[in-house]
């Protein structure tokens, strides 16, 4: 698992008021986002009301090229997401073969994207772009907090973040190189699995949703992906 977290700021326009209002209705009425939730928004519908969508994509593409990723973004799946903060978690169980590239579209609301194990903390504002290994524990927390606290995301607080996210394949040579991914292939173990997992010291590992600590808490980490015997 890579502990490299790449971040930068790109120039993206403020989303149209009509689109922002639509996102607000989606998150409050249909999704009913609770503190710590991360849920998808309908991207196809948003693009109809979003004349600057292409500008956002081009801005991120230009940034990834400066990192040496060339055209990998164009061939990667993209989704539109919303979160009301985010509890500490990793995504290696579902996206172990990918890295995430996120572009945040909301204004600065005093929130940080925190990677406790990797030692990175990134203030979130419109235009913040981040690339990281999906197996790396992370959360969206208050700027001056050291943990996730539900009380920091009360119903009277404006703390929803909307972002685009791309799934970058870690087996792509450029992605693996810039993140420093080192593949440790263990066919005997992976053939026995039916889902992707993060392992620590020979056992499946989990993350404390409040602190981001691994359980078990020591040893080396790896993402194990099921492999077909064929």
pLDDT digits (tens, 9 = 90+) for 149-180: 999 998 889 999 999 999 999 999 999 999 99
How far from 212 is each of 15, 74, 85, 162, CA to CA, in Å? 32, 32, 14, 22
Any idea where the domains of the chain sit in the sequence?
Answer: 5-179, 187-224
pLDDT digits (tens, 9 = 90+) for 18-56: 999 999 999 988 898 999 999 999 999 999 999 999 999
Enter the pTM of the model: 0.88
- Please tell me the class of the 5-179 domain: mainly beta
């Amino acid at each position: 698992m890579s502990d490299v977290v790449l971040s930068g700021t790109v120039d993206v326009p403020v989303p149209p008021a009509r689109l922002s209002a639509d996102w607000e209705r989606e998150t409050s009425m249909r999704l009913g986002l609770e503190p710590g939730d991360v849920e998808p928004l309908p991207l196809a519908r948003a693009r109809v009301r979003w004349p600057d969508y292409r500008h956002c994509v081009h801005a991120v593409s230009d940034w990834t090229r400066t990192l040496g990723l060339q055209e990998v973004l164009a061939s990667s799946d993209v989704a539109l997401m919303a979160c009301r903060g985010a509890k500490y978690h990793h995504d290696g169980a579902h996206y172990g073969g990918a890295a995430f590239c996120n572009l945040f579209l909301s204004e600065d609301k005093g929130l940080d994207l925190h990677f406790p194990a990797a030692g990175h903390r990134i203030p979130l504002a419109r235009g913040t772009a981040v690339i990281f290994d999906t197996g790396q524990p992370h959360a969206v927390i208050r700027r001056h907090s050291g943990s996730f606290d539900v009380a920091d995301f009360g119903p009277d607080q404006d703390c929803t973040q909307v972002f685009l996210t791309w799934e970058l394949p870690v087996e792509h040579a450029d992605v693996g190189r810039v993140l420093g991914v080192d593949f440790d292939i263990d066919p005997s173990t992976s053939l026995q699995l039916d889902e992707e997992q993060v392992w620590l010291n020979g056992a499946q590992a989990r993350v404390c949703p409040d602190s981001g600590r691994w359980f078990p808490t020591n040893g080396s980490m790896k993402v194990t992906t099921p492999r077909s015997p064929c």
